[in-house]
Amino acid sequence: MTTKTGKQRTTKTGKPKAATPNREIQQLIETRLRELPEDAAKDFRELATLLGQETDESERAEIAKTISEFIFPESLRPWKPEDRAGDVRAARERVAGYRRQVGAAVKRQRLNLGLTQEALAQKAKLPQSHISRLEVGKHAPTFTTMQKLAKALDTTPSRLDPGFSD
């Protein structure tokens, strides 16, 4: 990663800093990019490059906000353009609502199949406590978890999570 002036960013030990996004997030981004029209994908890549180069935190926040518009459908965004910078309560509630929506879909499908949380956990190779937390909306499933759950529930991830692209 480099600064605006082209200087290499380094860690405290002097090693070059590298952008290392979480693998699951990277897969989500790649999926969304494949779905974008060519001109929108080009804009996304330019924004991603700018994000890596920008040093001003307020500019980075604006670029990141714009990038998220490409990745997340409007109904699932944790913020909306009309949100004020200090009004995080509304954004948190939208995220909580999203988690509850996904959790309810997992529970509904599990019950439709006549599975207990323990049985689903075994099929999905996940801890039962994690299934419980997902179903009540305490956590949102990761990309990998969503794929495991969908497979164990004999469905597609998009049927459990409306923001997921199969």
Q: What is the pLDDT of residues 43-62, one digit of tens each?
A: 778 888 888 888 878 777 77
Alpha-carbon separation of residue 25 from 82, 91, 112, 152 (angstroms) = 26, 20, 30, 22
- Fold classification of 89-160 (topology level): 434 Repressor (Amino-terminal Domain) (1.10.260)
Adjacent-strand bridge partners of 8: 2
Q: What is the pLDDT of residues 95-141, one digit of tens each?
A: 888 889 999 999 999 999 999 999 999 999 999 999 999 999 988 88
The residue extents of the domains of the chain are 1-72, 89-160
